[in-house]
Structure 1
Amino acid sequence: MTPTDRPERPLEHHVLDPATEELLATVPSTTVAEVDAAVVRAKEARRVWAALAPADRARGLRRFAAAVDAEAGELARLEVREAGHTLAGARWEAANVRDLLDYAAGGVERLTGRQIPVPGGIDVTLLEPLGVVGVIAPWNFPMPIAAWGFAPALAAGNAVLLKPAETTPLTVLRLARIALDAGLPEHLLQVLPGAGAVTGDARRTEPT
């Protein structure tokens, strides 16, 4: 089989319990074209999100944090099954996601610029969102490491595309649903499961 004959990606990925090898879920794999489409959706969601007053973004993140707290038990049990963690450790991870969101919410209204004196005037610097941020989360601590990336990015007014490890996509997929249910704009936090050689390496030719 030549490189050009290879399929672009497997159509789906099987998520297994590492302790029992039981099939937990079958998750569709994201294609390069689907990554491009997700970027377009994220750009639109980011415009809505970044245009909000800082206090409104902070309130949205606090709602997200409260919703994570309310579902911490479910998230922990899911993390145990897909990542093989202890239940106590997984509960800490869910609580850490909540705390990261609360911490990021507290910083939204403090993302201020600076005025630097220069000869003949002042130099004004403003902090603005980057646009669409890509976050890649590993398999070993899927929930908190993902939140280390998406919480500050959302706080700063960005949209996030999150690529989880192939073996542990379930908790972050659930977090994206919780974010939507908590009132964050649709497509602001998108999870793109798939192979690293396809989804993780995807590049857009257009600026975001």
Structure 2
Amino acid sequence: MSEHNFIAGAWCGAAGGGSYERRNPARGEDLVGIIPRSGPADVDAACAALEAGWPEWAATPHERRVEILNRAADLIIERVEAYAEDLTREEGKTIGASRMEWKRAAANLRLYAGEAVRMRGETYPSADGLVYSVRAPLGVIAVITPWNFPISLPSRKIGPALATGNAVLFKPSEATPLTGRNFVQVLLDAGVPTDAIALLQGTGAELGHAIVTAPQVKAVTFTGSYAVGAAIHGAAGPGRRLQLEMGGKNACIVMPDADVSRAAAIIAQGAFNLTGQACTATSRAIIVGDNHDAIVARVAEIASTMVAGDGFDPATKIGPVATRAQYDKVRKAIAMARAEGLELALGSDSLPDLTEEQGGFFVTPTIFANVPTSSMLSREEIFGPVLAFHRTASYEEAVALANATDYGLAASIVTNDYATIERFARDIDAGIVKINSATGGVSGAAPFGGIKNSSNQTYREQAGLGVMDFYTTTRTVYLAA
């Protein structure tokens, strides 16, 4: 069995000896690896080792931690081709997208290396001596990440955690074990101490509760579904810091003054880039006025040229859906939409039933037109290349429909009217507001996060004022004269 866990300074299997197979979602005959199926005993061992070892890392000078993170970024660039190939094999995205994601991870590490030296405290007036504050690390941070961005997301959580002197317990998705292993290896090779990081492979069902409730874990940063985020919130209990970024049901509103071709290109990019497997992907297009049919036709024309296939094929624009479970979820959503009698503008009525060994979890872009607000396509996150079009008569109706969801991650509008743009930025219930661009795609130098059920809204991820606050606590020091 491959040794894909890293606990107490050593690569190892699961304590109980369990394992699972991970196969290429594009080609099921390609066995990616035999991966440890870790359990609570592995959590206990990892947490004990991190608790004992992290004080030395916390005491490491900022300059040394910065040097190590920058070295890790350099190593990523040197190894990007091999690491990108592993990512495409296990997750399915195109090799170009995998290269870009690893390069984004390197940029993230450099960003947080810079943030580490900018942290500062304050001094306060006092008649009795000097009073000042400093930022201090929390201890052990649990990092739980999904499969859709298996290196971009971990790098923007583990980067600031290490930069601020914390130890990291990293639990990647069971669908992307190689990328998780590669990231830990590159950090170790750059100089991160072996007792400052641990890697646990396995399923959330078998590991999640033990990680979240471990007494050594002072904070949990999670990106994934709302159901899992809510379970983490319920299990964590008081006194444990949480950063939860969850799902989205993102809408793109198109106003009557928008250019049809431009609007269609924005919608197609937002809906079908990365096979629609992004929390910021466009799943609803809300058309104000009379351009619904023209925009549907143009988006269908664009999407019909997007070839679905193996991520290593240069002709491929859309890789497979990453897992059998997700493939089945998309299949079910399409079947339910057809059962509702919805108008299929592009795509297949049904998808074949495939096994992990068969692979080939391909879903071509699927578009439904004239979708009523009562449809499940208007409410439920599908996380695949499925797009619902809605007709509305006014801006007010469009915004009300866009806001009529439990989620509030991203939203966009296509218009040339500046008054409407300013109004939209005030009216829309979303943490990310895009103007004349797709809902997907964000700057690494800006805050990331949603509202409502998309986030617990305590600490924003990625960048901006206060980004390092989640990973540190304030100590106020009273120095008597």
TM-score (norm 1): 0.89
Is the deviation greater in 184-193 or in 96-105?
Answer: 184-193
Counterpart among 23, 33, 45 of residue 16 in structure 1: 23
Counterpart among 195, 204, 208 of residue 214 in structure 2: 204
Q: How does 1:91-130 map to 2 (within 5 A)?
A: 91-117=99-125, 123-130=131-138
Matched, 1:86 2:94: yes
- Structure 2 residue aligned with 1:171: 179
Q: Distance in 2 between matches of 1:62 and 1:207?
A: 26
Shift of 1:205: 4.0
Matched, 1:185 2:193: yes
- The root-mean-square deviation of aligned C-alpha atoms, in Å, is 2.0
Shift of 1:207: 6.6
Shift of 1:57: 1.0
**Which segments of structure 1 move beyond 3 Å, counting only runs of 4 or more?**
116-123, 205-208
Deviations 1:76-128 (A, max 9, x none): 11111001011111011100110111111112222211123468766422100
- Structure 2 counterpart of 1:137, one-letter code: T
Matched, 1:60 2:68: yes
- Structure 1 residue aligned with 2:259: none
Contact 1:9 1:195 in 2 (8 A): no
Shift of 1:187: 3.1
Q: Distance in 2 between matches of 1:182 and 1:108?
A: 17
Q: Distance in 1 between matches of 2:51 and 2:79?
A: 29
- Structure 1 residue aligned with 2:168: 160
Q: Could you say which structure has the larger radius of gyration?
A: 2
Deviations 1:131-153 (A, max 9, x none): 00001110111011111110011
Q: Distance in 1 between matches of 2:115 and 2:217?
A: 27
- Structure 2 residue aligned with 1:135: 143
Q: Distance in 1 between matches of 2:24 and 2:171?
A: 20
Shift of 1:27: 0.7
Q: Would you say how many aligned residue pairs link Structure 1 and Structure 2?
A: 201
- Structure 2 counterpart of 1:204, one-letter code: A
- Structure 2 counterpart of 1:12, one-letter code: S
- Structure 1 counterpart of 2:26, one-letter code: A
- Structure 2 counterpart of 1:155, one-letter code: A
Q: How does 1:33-72 map to 2 (within 5 A)?
A: 33-72=41-80
Q: Distance in 2 between matches of 1:206 and 1:186?
A: 17
Shift of 1:65: 1.1
Q: Which is richer in strand? A: 2
Secondary structure, aligned partner of 2:120: coil
Q: Distance in 2 between matches of 1:99 and 1:130?
A: 24
Shift of 1:198: 1.8
Q: Distance in 2 between matches of 1:185 and 1:168?
A: 24
- Structure 2 residue aligned with 1:5: none
Distance of aligned partners of 1:207 and 1:99 in 2 relative to their CA distance in 1, 3 Å threshold: closer
Q: Which is richer in helix? A: 1
Which has the higher relative contact order, 1 or 2, with Cα contacts under 8 A spaced 6 or more apart? 1
Q: Distance in 2 between matches of 1:71 and 1:24?
A: 19
- Structure 1 counterpart of 2:43, one-letter code: V
- Structure 1 counterpart of 2:34, one-letter code: T
Percent identity (aligned): 34
Contact 2:142 2:169 in 1 (8 A): yes
Secondary structure, aligned partner of 1:200: helix
